[in-house]
């Protein structure tokens, strides 16, 4: 049973009980859902044949880096430089009356 199904089941039955308040019912449902999630994840970890305990960890293979995209670098530098120059030489709309 998933945690959400357990939460819904407990909330359905707990809210129909007149002596159990809504806050206590929600806390109980959260507790049951938490235990259901913890139990299911622990069970999956035990059943998983590819778990970390059975795998051999090896370092990654070292590969030489590829060629950098020089054209893209130069285009970005040119665009940013052009934007800076454009912003610097753009006339201000302020006059002596401001």
> Residues 8-53: pLDDT tens digits?
665 565 556 566 677 777 777 777 777 776 776 666 655 655 555 5
> Is residue 25 one of the residues assigned to a domain?
yes
| CA-based nearest residue to 4, from 29, 24, 21, 41 | 29
Long-range CB contacts (within 8 A, 24+) of 69-77:
none
Q: What is the pTM of this model?
A: 0.34
pLDDT at 40: 67
pLDDT in tens, 50-81: 555 567 788 989 998 888 899 999 999 999 99
The boundaries of the domain holding residue 36 are 3-47
> Is residue 40 one of the residues assigned to a domain?
yes
pLDDT at 26: 76
**d(C-alpha 87, C-alpha 93), whole Å:** 13
Structural domain tally of the chain? Answer: 1
């Amino acid at each position: 049973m998933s945690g959400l199904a357990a939460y819904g089941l407990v909330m359905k039955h707990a809210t129909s009980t007149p002596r159990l308040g809504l806050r206590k019912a929600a806390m109980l449902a959260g507790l049951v859902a938490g235990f259901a999630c913890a139990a299911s994840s622990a069970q999956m970890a035990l059943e998983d044949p590819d778990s970390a305990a059975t795998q051999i960890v090896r370092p990654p293979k070292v590969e030489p880096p590829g060629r950098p995209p020089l054209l893209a670098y130069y285009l970005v530098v040119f665009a940013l430089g052009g934007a800076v120059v454009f912003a610097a030489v753009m006339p201000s709309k302020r006059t002596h009356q401001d």
